[in-house]
């Protein structure tokens, strides 16, 4: 009988990653790989469910039935994304309760972007265009993540995010081509959401604690700065088509680099938001905890239902069933 050593297992894992094979839940994986995935997937899941709040704020005030129906569907999609991602994290041996507890007690993060307020209806369009646009740019490469359940969850999420991005773009286009007041509202929303959207990609590469290792493990396929640059390059022509201006006087095409140059990002603001000092951090966590507490009865009922059905087998019918009035033989 041959014994599988720790070295053999590490070598098999490294070879699978090098060959672009997927690591599956039952495969051996290094503890640090598992911990990194739990951290990133949990943060991602938390972002999806916290991300429901700024947009849900406008459901009751959407300007038409059509816009309201689209917005409700989008917010529901975000809840669904949270569920796929919590399930992906569960395959790594963590429970959803544990992750939610860490979110509620501030021990796990969610995306900085959701700590900004949605002040006008145009913010819903700007979130769709910019925030979902940034999310797609970041998340399409995650469909090729080395961990199977996360990669597969991302395929569906990206398809839905793509619809979200288009609805945001179309909504902003309608405002931009509307009355001068509507145009100004769209421009104001873009002015406020542009820089926080660039921060979504995370700190600059030279300050990114996890990027190098995550890229070696093929969890991340591109660095934070690469994806941020890709996003800027995508947005510039889209802003022109929208008839809106991106709020960066230093934004200009650089022929040599083949990319747009852009102005400095306020990393102090980013760090403050991460520390809990953004405009809406307290409100987001308070509302999340309240929703969780108010949903306790649903979780209890679902658990009781599952227990009942796990212990009760359907009984064999002892007499033939007949419809009322039907003659029995
Ligand atoms: N906000 O070493 P780094 C969405 C943290 S889209 C908060 O570069 P990493 C949605 C980072 O966690 C948004 N924290 O980290 C869209 C780390 O702290 P810890 C969610 C951030 O993981 C529309 C530290 O800074 N998307 O859900 O290699 C509607 C150092 O950073 C942020 C995802 O989560 C930030 N912006 O790279 C509704 C995508 N940036 O953990 C919903 C998956 C960095 O050591 N995640 N930090 O305490 C990723 O791709 C990567 O985790 C990141 C960061 C690019 C975000």
3-state helix, strand, coil split of the chain in percent (to 5) is: 65, 0, 30
pLDDT above 90: residue 23 = yes
Average pLDDT over the chain, rounded to an integer: 94
Residue-wise pLDDT for 187-199, tens only, equals 999 999 999 999 9
pLDDT for 6: 84
Residues 211 and 18: their CA atoms lie apart, in Å, by 17
- The predicted model scores a pTM of 0.93
Q: Residue 251 and residue 54: Cα distance in Å, rounded?
A: 28
Query: Could you report the per-residue pLDDT of 220-254, keeping only the tens digit for each?
Result: 999 999 999 999 999 999 999 999 999 999 999 99
Per-residue pLDDT tens over the stretch 102-117:
999 999 999 999 999 9
Q: Closest ligand 1 atom, CA of 134?
A: 6
Centroid of ligand 1 to alpha carbon of 23 (angstroms): 22
Is the CB–ligand 1 distance for residue 292 below 6 Å?
Answer: no
User: 96-104 and 281-294 are packed helices; what angle lies between their axes, rounded to 10 degrees?
Assistant: 140
Pocket of ligand 1 contains residue 210 by CB under 6 Å: yes
pLDDT at 328 over 50: no
Beta-bridge partner residues of 43: none
């Amino acid at each position: 009988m041959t014994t599988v050593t720790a070295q053999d297992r590490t070598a098999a894992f490294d070879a699978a990653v090098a060959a672009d094979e997927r690591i599956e839940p039952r495969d051996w994986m290094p503890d640090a790989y598992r911990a990194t995935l739990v951290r990133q997937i949990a943060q991602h899941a938390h972002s999806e469910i916290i991300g429901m709040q700024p947009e849900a704020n406008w459901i009751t005030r959407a300007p038409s039935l059509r816009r309201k129906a689209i917005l409700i569907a989008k917010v529901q999609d975000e809840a669904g994304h949270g569920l796929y991602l919590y399930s992906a994290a569960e395959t790594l041996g963590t429970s959803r309760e544990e992750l939610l507890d860490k979110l509620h007690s501030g021990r796990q993060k969610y995306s900085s972007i959701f700590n900004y307020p949605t002040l006008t209806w145009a913010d819903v369009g700007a979130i769709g265009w910019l925030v979902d646009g940034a999310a797609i740019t970041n998340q399409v490469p995650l469909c090729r993540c080395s961990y199977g359940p996360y990669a597969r969850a991302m395929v569906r999420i990206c398809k839905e995010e793509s619809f979200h991005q288009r609805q945001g773009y179309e909504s902003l286009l309608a405002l931009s081509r509307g009355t001068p007041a509507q145009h100004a509202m769209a421009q104001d929303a873009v002015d406020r959401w542009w820089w926080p959207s660039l921060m979504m990609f995370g700190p600059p590469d030279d300050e990114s604690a996890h990027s190098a290792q995550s890229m070696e493990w093929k969890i991340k396929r591109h660095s934070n700065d690469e994806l941020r640059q890709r996003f800027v390059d995508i947005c510039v022509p889209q802003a022109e088509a929208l008839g809106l201006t991106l709020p960066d006087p230093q934004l200009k095409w650089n022929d040599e680099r083949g990319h747009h140059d852009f102005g400095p990002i306020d990393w102090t603001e980013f760090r403050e938001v991460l520390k809990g000092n953004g405009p809406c951090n307290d409100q987001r966590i308070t509302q999340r905890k309240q929703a969780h507490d108010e949903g306790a009865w649903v979780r209890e009922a679902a658990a009781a239902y599952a227990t009942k059905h796990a212990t009760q087998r359907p009984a064999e019918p002892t007499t033939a069933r007949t419809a009322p009035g039907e003659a029995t033989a």
